[in-house]
Amino acid sequence: MEKKIRLGIIGLGNMGTAHAKNILEGKCPEIVITAVADRNEDRLNWAKENLPGVTCFTDPIELMDSGLVDGCLISVPHYDHPTYSIACMQRGLHVMCEKPAGVYTRQVREMIAESEKHPEVVFGMMFNQRTNHIYRKMRELVQSGDYGQIRRTNWIITDWYRPQCYYDSGDWRATWSGEGGGVLLNQCPHQLDLWQWICGMPVKVQAHLQFGKWHDIEVEDDVTTYVEYANGATGVFVTTTGDARGTNRFEIQMDKAKIVAEGNDLKVIEFDVSEPEFSKTNEQPFGNLTSHNLEIVTDGKNEQHVGVLNAWAGAILRGEPLVAAGAEGINGLTLSNAMHLSAFLGKAVELPFDEDLYYEELMKRVATSRRKTNVKAVVADTSASYAGNQ
């Protein structure tokens, strides 16, 4: 019989349930769900009705110690992602962690350090947007060297519209103590990961965040961020959950091309000569580069969550590459933490930033959060109920 990964799902909220359904439908043929854990009775009842033969737990640690699983998918509120990932690693269990890797980088560094102690554990991040053929092609084009250096990046990602009832659906949502942030921590981890995966990390961040601008919430729901890169390039990242019929447009201006992803379309305008060369040799004051549109061919694949899980299974069973290694989860989180810190302090933040200072500033806000969670308990356990995650 072909070997399968015995999977435990910790957290049966929106995403945990979606993963379970994908596996149940046979989309991950090398994975079988053998156990689930959630503290919400309704979600466990759903599991008992829909996941035949699966053992249910209210305590994730009991699941890990049961001997029923080879690895776990962590899909609980954000603060607990490192907590349960580390607990799995310490038991030699493979880990697939939902985004974001955690709420603050200091916590995620501990998770990465623990993973390095257990080389036998395959640790992956659920960065499913890296499977999208549009973004994979963008990365290939940018990193090929054919178009010179990045000069400017602009991403406006405002098609996250959420009405007030979305935030009212769970007391942990959009609170400093329950979620650790707003649109940057909930909706945008994929885009922040893609931004740095394709373009690299900036060296300076200046962010303007507005907290509860469009909704009755305490965290950010409107963001405009300016960044600088080591080569002098600049970038802007704009996001919100308040724009009805919003936009998703990602532009990268390079020495010899302009690359634009919008919706499901990828466009490359290739210059006939690089801009630095044209500027030095052109003798017409209002001259401009000639260019042509490239016909971009991709493989068309966009396997999303299923692709990430299948790659994880392949890594465990045959040593195949992951879509995203767990250690890479800190990069996008570094960007969101830096944006928050810049807004908290009202000034630009250089990377690497003071992670202890960020933690202190975050905990000030946790202490006055609407969700009256004990500040010390935030790091240890914010998962009184997992249902509704993501």
Is the predicted pLDDT of residue 373 greater than 70, yes or no?
Answer: no
pLDDT tens digits, 248-304: 999 999 999 999 999 889 999 999 999 999 999 999 999 999 999 999 999 999 999
Do 196 and 112 lie in one domain? The reply is no
> What is residue 213's predicted lDDT score, i.e. its pLDDT?
98
Dump the DSSP string for 123-161: EEE--GGGG-HHHHHHHHHHHTSTT--EEEEEEEE----
What is the CATH number for 367? 3.30.360.10
State the average pLDDT over residues 45-53: 96
The arithmetic mean of pLDDT across residues 68-97, rounded, is 97
Same domain flag for 176 and 257? yes
H or E segment at 94?
strand 94-97
pLDDT of the residue at 378: 54
Whether residues 19 and 46 share a domain: the answer is yes
In a domain, 287, yes or no: yes
Looking at 326, 359, 380, the residue that finishes a domain is 326
Across the chain, what does the average pLDDT equal? 94
pLDDT bin (cut points 50, 70, 90) of residue 145 is very high
Question: Is the confidence at residue 48, as pLDDT, over 70?
Answer: yes
Residues 197 and 320 both lie in one domain: no
Convert the pLDDT of each residue in 1-33 to its tens digit: 479 999 999 999 999 999 999 999 999 999 999
- Classified as helix, coil or strand, 174 is coil
pLDDT for position 292: 97
Q: What is the spatial distance between Cα 269 and Cα 291, in angstroms, rounded to a whole number?
A: 6
Shared domain check, 156 and 124: no
Residue 339 has pLDDT above 80, yes or no: yes
Number of domains in the chain: 2
Does residue 309 sit within a domain? Answer: yes
Same domain for 336 and 187, yes or no, is yes
For β-strands 5-10 and 71-74, DSSP reports them as: parallel
- Asked whether residue 187 is assigned to any structural domain, the reply reads yes
pLDDT band at 385 (very low <50, low <70, confident <90, very high): very low
Rounded Cα–Cα distance for residues 230 and 203 (Å):
6
Is residue 114 located within the same domain as residue 256?
Answer: no
Q: Which range among 95-104, 161-170, 221-230, 373-382 shows the weakest confidence by mean pLDDT? A: 373-382
Q: Confidence band (pLDDT; 50, 70, 90) for 171?
A: confident
Give the per-residue pLDDT at 263: 87
- pLDDT for residue 351 is more than 70: yes
Q: Per the domain annotation, does 49 fall within a domain?
A: yes
Residues 168 and 249 placed together within one structural domain of the fold: yes
**Environment class of residue 324 by beta-carbon count within 10 Å: exposed (0-12), middle (13-18) or buried (19+)?**
buried
Residues 285 and 313 placed together within one structural domain of the fold: no
Res 387: pLDDT: 45
Do both 19 and 122 map to the same domain?
Answer: yes
Q: How far is CA 378 from the centre of its chain?
A: 21
What predicted TM-score, i.e. pTM, was given to this entire model?
Answer: 0.94
The answer to the question of residue 172 being in a domain is yes
Instruction: Give pLDDT, residue 388.
Output: 39
Domain that holds residue 273: 132-301+332-372
Per-residue pLDDT of 304-329, as tens digits, reads 999 999 999 999 999 999 999 999 99
Whether 382 maps to a domain, the answer reads no
Residues 106-134, mean pLDDT to the nearest whole number: 98
Please say whether the beta carbons of 179 and 102 come within 8 A: no
φ, ψ of residue 222 to 5 degrees: the values are: -150, 125
Determine, yes or no, domain membership for 229.
Answer: yes
Could you tell me if 310 and 214 lie in one domain? no
User: Residue 389: pLDDT above 80?
Assistant: no
Q: Is the pLDDT of residue 382 over 70?
A: no
Ranking 182-186, 218-222, 368-372 by mean pLDDT, the lowest is 368-372
Do 110 and 63 sit in the same domain of this protein? yes
Report the CATH number that the domain containing residue 56 is assigned in CATH: 3.40.50.720
Reading the block at residue 67, the tokens are: 């001997």
Residue 312 falls inside a structural domain: yes
